[in-house]
Amino acid sequence: MSISLAKGQTLSLEKSGGQGLTKVFMGLGWDPAGSNQKKGFFGKLLGGASGGDDIDLDASVIVLDAAKKVLDTVSFSQLRSKDGSIKHDGDNLTGQGDGDDEVIHVDLTKLNPAAAFLVFTVNSFRGQTFNEVDNAVARLVDETGNKEICKYTLAEQGSHTGVIMASLAKTSEGWKMTAHGVPAGGRTVRDLANDAISVL
């Protein structure tokens, strides 16, 4: 059964039935503020009647070592990590379609051994703010069995253009996921790096 995380809550993935996790994906979704088109937590980001109100949010991941130094980033502009362990399914410009708006796959067995943190972010490249977004969601799925492990729904809105949604941390006891929901500035994943480091 999937666990809903509260802001700031950390979950041991080993203790939550994720022992032996090898391949996971982080699915990120969102709704337009005031949309009557929502389909549960993962309602799609649809434009207004004029077709000009689409919000192009970008999901990304920042890879850091134990010293919190950035090793790599994966986003719509770099769909694969340098070591090949992380793959982005590609940019969704409108948010339309079933399922998650954007998905980032991680093969934990191929991850750079120096990688200690994976920080998942969402930002608006066009500069639209999170006042225009409802229910941004991050959900972690065990890809081997297609089983959702946990999810976090962002309740807060605001004039910021980015959010540090969640992170995975490698510990002596295995991987842990923390829900953050921390507002951030900037329109690209590189702009969010300092904010990402600050939550760890």
64-122 confidence digits (pLDDT tens) = 999 999 999 999 999 999 999 999 998 665 444 446 889 999 999 999 999 999 999 99
Q: pTM for the complete prediction?
A: 0.86
Q: What is the CATH number of the domain that holds 135?
A: 2.60.60.30
Angle at 57 between CA 139 and CA 149, to 5 degrees: 5
Number of domains in the chain: 1
Tell me the Cα Rg of the chain: 16
Expressed as residue numbers, the domain containing 170 is: 3-198
Which residue, 120, 102, 89, is CA-closest to 55? Answer: 102
Nearest to 139 by CA among 1, 44, 2: 2
In this predicted model, what pLDDT tens digit does every residue of 54-66 receive, in sequence order?
A: 677 899 999 999 9
CA dihedral 158, 62, 77, 155 (to 10 degrees): -20
Place of tokens 């081997």: 144
